[in-house]
Amino acid sequence: MDESLRGLRVIITAGASGIGRVTAGAFLEQGARVHICDISPEHLQDFQAAFPQAGATRADVSDPAQVAAFMQAALERLGGVDVLVNNAGTAGPTALAEEISVADWDHTMRVGIHAQFYCAREVIPLMKKNRRGSIVNMSSTAGLFGFPLRTPYAAAKWAVIGLTKTLAMELGEFGIRVNAICPGAVEGARIDGVIERNAAALGKTREAIRQEFMRHTSMRTFVGPQDVANLILFLCSEKGEKISGQALAVDGHTESLR
């Protein structure tokens, strides 16, 4: 157990499933206190049954009013905040740029980047007052490469890195570190959906698309949610206290996305 994580007050968006849920569980195992949000009532119910010691709020983080209400509930329950994990995101549409609707573009941006700003601006004043804190923003290897057929997703993930590096510059003097994590293809329902949509768009089988994804990495592998959670915990611990402004890939080394 890492004693530097014990007692940390941790807020995680989209924390009831996938990477968020595994990350919440990992923090709880280390003795941290956790409050999450999620948009899915079913996922929230399942999360609360599995982790009754954690707090949970239903919220759509693309709506600043719902973010404010979620943060108020989290801060009242935790009594403050030491860690924010901006995990919420959406895969967005799979199509050529000219075929993507304005509504799909806007929704991908609201969830993928606007929400991270909404959440960060809620916790920054408290972290400044405490002169400590860690913000971890979820980007993607799509934030390091172009990603054909996924224009809004890639644009949002590149924007996350810009937000991260700028916040790190603004907040470093207050002892607050800000980093972005860039997962590759993460096993789970989201990547399964991406594979299915790519297969339909390109007229290929799902297995062929899956193998193409794996060939894009030097290690010929997908990663698991626990791999991502491990890095998040490291960054938020004393071991990561001098790491800030970085975009760190957990991806088996992505060579390209095409």
Within 8 A by CB and 6+ apart from 12, the residues are 20, 23, 24, 27, 34, 35, 36, 37, 84, 85, 87
166-to-69, 124, 139, 171 alpha-carbon distances in Å: 26, 13, 15, 9
Beta-carbon neighbour count of residue 157 at 10 Å? Answer: 28
Query: Which residues sit opposite 249 in a β-bridge?
Result: 182
153 catalytically annotated? yes
Q: Compute φ and ψ for 239, nearest 5 degrees.
A: -65, -25
Two structure tokens written together for 15:
């924390």
Query: Which residues sit opposite 177 in a β-bridge?
Result: 134
Two structure tokens written together for 202:
């390109």
Q: Of the residues 153, 158, 213, 222, which is catalytic?
A: 153
Write out the catalytic residue numbers. Answer: 153
